[in-house]
Amino acid sequence: MYKGVPASPGIAIGPALVLPKKQFQLEKRVIQDVTAEKNRFHQALAAAKSRIDDLIASAQAQGQTETAKIFEAHRLMLEDPELIAGVEKRIAEEKVNAEFALETTVNFYINLLAQANSDYLRERVADLKDVAGHVLQLLAGDGLQTPHIKADCLIVAAELTPSDTALLPLDKVQGFITEVGGATSHTAIIARSLELPAVVGVKKITSAVQNGDLLIIDGEQGAVLVNPDPGTVEAYRRKQAVLHRQKEELARLKGVAAQTKSGKTIRLLANVGEPWELPKALEYGADGIGLFRTEFLFLNRETLPTEEEQFQAYKEVLVKMEGKPVVIRTLDIGGDKNLPALNLEPEMNPFLGCRGIRLCLKDKALFTTQLRALYRASVYGQLKIMFPMISSLEEYRAAVKCAEEVRAQLIEEGHPVSSHVPIGIMVEVPSTALITDLFAKEVDFVSIGTNDLIQYTLAVDRMNEQISHLYTPFHPAVLRLIKMVIEQARKGGIEVSMCGEMAGDPRFTPLLIGLGLESFSMSPSALLAVKKQIRTLKNSTAKALAEKVLALPTAEQIKAVLGNEENKE
């Protein structure tokens, strides 16, 4: 068995198709005519743009909007003035051929990205390689190499770029395995959008597998089995059949209310990181967007997005949600996410540093530009604004003051602005959780961000492999803080929701309802499973479970109780 990163859930069983690693015969040549070489480079650039335009059109025609967005980002890379100027400079100063100039320039940027603190930025290395690959192929006079696939198979590759994936006959592909990549790599994103099982980051898998080998992909566990025995195959086929039945069963819940057996209606909202996820949220019946992350607009670019760019993005989300509530979180950069355009100084402990609202209050121009775009978009739907990483009332008041000034300025300029835009906060810092009663007197709503709340409550860096086992949502201190937030928010008469991973985990659904939570926000793919759990519950059973769990002293005991099937009835 080979282990990797679970990228897309499900089980796939079938023969392997190993894609060969790309080999470019790149030579450094001395050139005489600099102008001619620059022209050759620009001709290849133009042809590459045309090729990517074709890939965008093809993806859009097949309804693969997320893949189209990826290629649109690739096209922008081909127009990057710094990249183009870097290649031209090498051609002119070093008198080298365009292929070599491009390769060395791209490698410089790849090395920068590879050293970034952010997984997201490190995984954009694949994008840069993909874009450069188009141009190098065209400079070499090579055409697109389409893999010949006759029957259903599981793709095994060292790396799968979006361009590689676009060339595959996806009706015959049953799953993906790659040697590199993480949960936010494009292989993972595309696999999830296609609902195909995938495991990435499986070291040396291409040398361990041959074409035709029987493989099993367990996308939930991040496991790959090569030429398993018949008994193992049969066991996985049974699991596969169970998952298929569960999927069909969940699909029947799309138009059904999220209501307990006692008649209590629970609001199920979606967490969205990029606009392409909106159709999934609507398809799975989300009552609105409980967390729309805005970081996608800022990452993977050398310049900050303009007010107009942001306005168009927020407007698109609000229009597509057709009047349903949309909670848009202001920029949450820092910690594990960096921003090249801001050139942030390295910090000893970025998770306790200048991140979230702290950065926005420090860089007022950054903050006010986003607030202007949000308020301008507010007339196109039911917008709510949420501030991240609030740890004190002083921070919240300072952020609200900025928002009020921006709103007044827009009205003075003649921009239409919604008459009421609720403002709320993320509760992800213990100090905020402990004074929820005070916040409830001033904020319109709160949303519990369990990922960071757990991390800060337990003093555990969830990205540190040495101590990540100590990071647990079952810890009694975490559950007591959540109980406190829900109780104080409800006493204060404000909305309280949860948008962390716990909200999308069906094991916690009975407990959270027992604690009084009535609004959950989660990944669109988790909506139906949580709805199913809700519909099996009685309110009295959920309350009794909450009382029992809160009396337990250890995470292990709590985990055992919450995993008990009897809690559902």
Ramachandran category for residue 63: left, alpha or beta (phi over 0 → left; psi -120 to 50 → alpha): left
Contacts by 184-188 with C-beta closer than 8 Å and gap 24+?
184/119, 184/120, 184/123, 185/7, 185/123, 185/126, 186/70, 186/123, 186/126, 186/127, 186/160, 186/161, 186/162, 187/7, 187/159, 187/160, 188/5, 188/7, 188/8
Question: How far is residue 299's CA from residue 437's CA, in Å, rounded to a whole number?
Answer: 35
Give the length of the chain: 569
Q: Is the dihedral of CA 430, 434, 437, 439 positive or negative?
A: negative
- Which has the closest alpha carbon to 266: 531, 492, 525, 504? 531
Q: For the packed helices 81-94 and 98-114, what is the interaxial angle rounded to 10 degrees?
A: 130
SS3 call for 524: helix
Catalytic residue among 153, 354, 360, 499: 499
Catalytic residue among 74, 134, 186, 475: 186
What is the per-residue DSSP string for 233-291? HHHHHHHHHHHHHHHHHHHTTTTS--B-TTS-B-EEEEEESSGGGHHHHHHTT-SSEEE
Single-letter amino acid code for the residue at 389: M
**Residue 42 bears catalytic tag:** no
**Residue 499 bears catalytic tag:** yes
Q: Which residues are catalytic?
A: 186, 499
